[in-house]
Chains A and B, each alone.
Chain A
Amino acid sequence: MSFEHKALQLDRVSKHYGEVRALEDVSFELRKGEFLTMLGPSGSGKTTTLRVIAGFVEPSSGALLIDGRDMTGVPPQRRNIGMMFQDYALFPHMTVLENVAYPLETRGVKRSERESRAREMLGIVGLGDFAKRFPKQMSGGQQQRVALARALVFHPDIVLLDEPMAALDKKLRGQMQIEIMHIARKVGATVVSVTHDQEEALVMSDRIAIFRAGKLAQIGTPQELYTRPNSEFVADFIGEANLLRGTARREGGICRLEGAGWRASLPGDDPRAPAKTAAVTVVLRPEVIALAAEGERPANALTGTIEDRIYLGVEFRLIARLADGSAVQVRSRDLARISALAQGDAVTLCWRDEDFVVIPG
């Protein structure tokens, strides 16, 4: 065992409500200062995981460690966790200053010190002049900053954000995403956030954990999830993805992948290449696909007919129909050549060896 404790460890955490398995064998670790976002559709287990970390939900099995300490049976008030609730849960009868000072009050910090620390934190979130106001006298964005200040003021080991942007209008979201990330970095907080908005996850997180049906589907940096999804679900959830179905088989030193209207090949020692003949799905991002040059016969290619061509200013969106009827989306800046294409034209599209992902099945 290493001496460096992880800020947070979940080890095979499960939560069952009778027959309903809300959470199944979820394991991951968090470094100090890391920003993790749990992403997934509603009911996927991300909120349950957040509530398990907070201590509002006791797991049916598995272990939860904060800074190396086992949290079994430790109530929320003794976990040293800060939390920002979805609609902020500010205390309506207390001033902004009293709200932010509350976690210090419960820790027995004397009045003068807790007020000066609360004021300092209000300054950090940009609300230095609002100490004497009541929450309902403030806008949604300001209330969110108060909630953030309350969650950070006592230097918690972990900060939990429950759908932090859900109650804000769209314009404010982008701004607060960056701001919350900066404030969290400034105070060195370890953050676990929950959202169902993939853009928010991509903007704010060091790593993203994708949940599906109570299980952790994949965890990794935004780039890892985008370029190396381990399942169709993850590929589809983060960004746009074309899924090509076919089979892989070994032929001498190389692995050939083939389906209706497409083919690709990988060197035999490529980690993506299946060891033997198997059904596969190839994931292709729309922006890695290009029009093949005239007369060229690329190794990775698909042929189809143009179904639609949409001009989007900086790029074209091209929709091609394959022989088996499935559609492929392409985003291309090759404006000159695409302008020359018409609906119904046959096209050959290609992509580079390193730009595709192979998923079994």
Chain B
Amino acid sequence: MTLSSPAIPRGPTLVERLPRGSVLLVPALLFLLLFYVYPLAQLIGASLPGGSGKNYALIFSRPVFLRVIAETFRVSLVVMAVTVLVAFPYAYAMANAGRRALLFLTIALLIPFWVSLLLRSFSWIVLLQNTGLVNQVLLGLGLIETPLKLIRTEIGVILGMVHVLLPYAVLPLYSVMKKIDMRLMEASSICGASWFHGFRRVYLPMALPGVLAAAILTFTLALGFYITPALLGSPRDMMIAQMIAGQFSEQLNFGLGAALAVVLMGLTALAFALFGLGRVLLARRAAA
């Protein structure tokens, strides 16, 4: 080899290989590290005092904890199902509305969204309590003899949660639905399909990514609900977030509270993974 042979070009350095403008990400990354990743690591550390897993052993051996976890999942599933069912026709109406109707539907959806969560939960108390509007109307109409017990029950919790979560389900559904070409439904009907047949075979499969997105959002948000079940439910309807708060603020058992929070996070991640798997399978089927 002679000295005149061309030098092997040096590859770009790590910094050079980063996409242009990456430096703009630094503040956000720092923020996340400082205020999210670091406290999370602290939390996990706190849940394992002296490296012992006794808090986790306690959670998975005591029926009271398991019952609250199971209850949290059950309520979240019901809330997810009801929210998606209510959101579907609403999003369908939005996707097929004229400009004015769309504006109205959007405002009707988002104005409550802008009101504080606490305020909305208190409003439900006013509406649902024994002397509240709902019971008074039903009594006045003679439909019931004695006031229905709506508050401090699971019904109250579900109502309140569905109300809070509705926009989270409507918006992803709407964004998928507005891209569905309604001429496909015309094509379906000229092919001899009733509206329902076309809905089941053409519209619903195409709206499914929206349904999944709405379901995953509402379910994972529902898992961590605190204020609404605390105000509208009974102690028997306690959800895991209330239990975590109780460990921190009343029992002052930081280790157990932290462990419960980690369990909630793990289960939420698991739910996410399952939904994600569903989406991948769906996408694979569509691209097969």
Contacts and interface: CB of A to CB of B under 8 A. Distances in A.
B19 interface: no
A150 interface: yes
Contacts of B188: 91, 102, 106
Given A89-B181, A89-B184, A93-B205, A82 B190 contact: yes
A357 interface: no
Contact of B190 (A81, A90, A93, A107): A81
A103 B184 CA distance: 13
Interface in B169-220: 181, 183-184, 186-194, 197, 201-202, 205-206
Interface string A94-112: 0000000011011100000
B28 interface: no
Given A89-B183, A150-B191, A134 B288 contact: yes
Given A56-B186, A83-B187, A85-B187, A93 B286 contact: yes
B206 A93 contact: yes
Interface residues of A, number: 27
Which of B183, B187, B206: most chain A CB closer than 10 A?
A: B187
Contacts of A85: 183, 186-187
Given A89-B181, A91-B202, A92-B206, A77 B186 contact: no
Contacts of A83: 187, 190
Given A134-B286, A134-B288, A89 B186 contact: yes
Nearest to B286: A93
B202 A77 contact: no
Contact of A103 (B181, B191, B205, B287): B191
Contacts of A54: 186, 190
Contacts of A80: 192
Interface string A191-233: 0000000000000000000000000000000000000000000
A106 B205 contact: no
Contacts of B191: 77, 102-103, 106, 150
B192 A154 contact: yes
Nearest to B192: A106
Nearest to A100: B191
A45 B202 CA distance: 30
Contacts of A78: 192
Nearest to B186: A56
A54 B183 CA distance: 13
Contacts of B286: 92-93, 134
A76 B190 contact: yes
A77 B184 contact: no
A53 to B, nearest CB: 10
B190 A77 contact: yes
A76 B189 contact: yes
A75 interface: yes
A293 B184 CA distance: 63
Contact of A77 (B194, B201, B287): B194
A57 to B, nearest CB: 11
Interface string A51-66: 0001110000000000
Contact of A106 (B181, B193, B206, B288): B193
Contacts of B186: 54, 56, 76, 85, 89
A210 B242 CA distance: 74
A92 B287 CA distance: 10
Nearest to A153: B191
Contacts of A134: 286-288
A82 B187 CA distance: 9
Interface in B270-288: 286-288
Nearest to A98: B201
Contact of B192 (A92, A93, A103): A103
A107 B192 CA distance: 7
Interface of B: 181, 183-184, 186-194, 197, 201-202, 205-206, 286-288
12 contacts: A56-B186, A75-B189, A77-B192, A79-B190, A83-B190, A85-B186, A91-B187, A102-B191, A102-B201, A103-B192, A106-B194, A154-B192
Given A54-B186, A91-B188, 20 more contacts: A77-B189, A77-B190, A77-B194, A83-B190, A85-B187, A89-B184, A89-B186, A90-B187, A91-B184, A91-B202, A92-B286, A93-B205, A93-B206, A102-B201, A105-B201, A106-B188, A106-B194, A134-B286, A134-B287, A150-B191
Question: Which 9 pairs between the two chains have the least Cβ-Cβ distance?
Answer: A106-B192, A89-B187, A103-B191, A106-B193, A76-B189, A83-B190, A77-B189, A93-B205, A76-B190
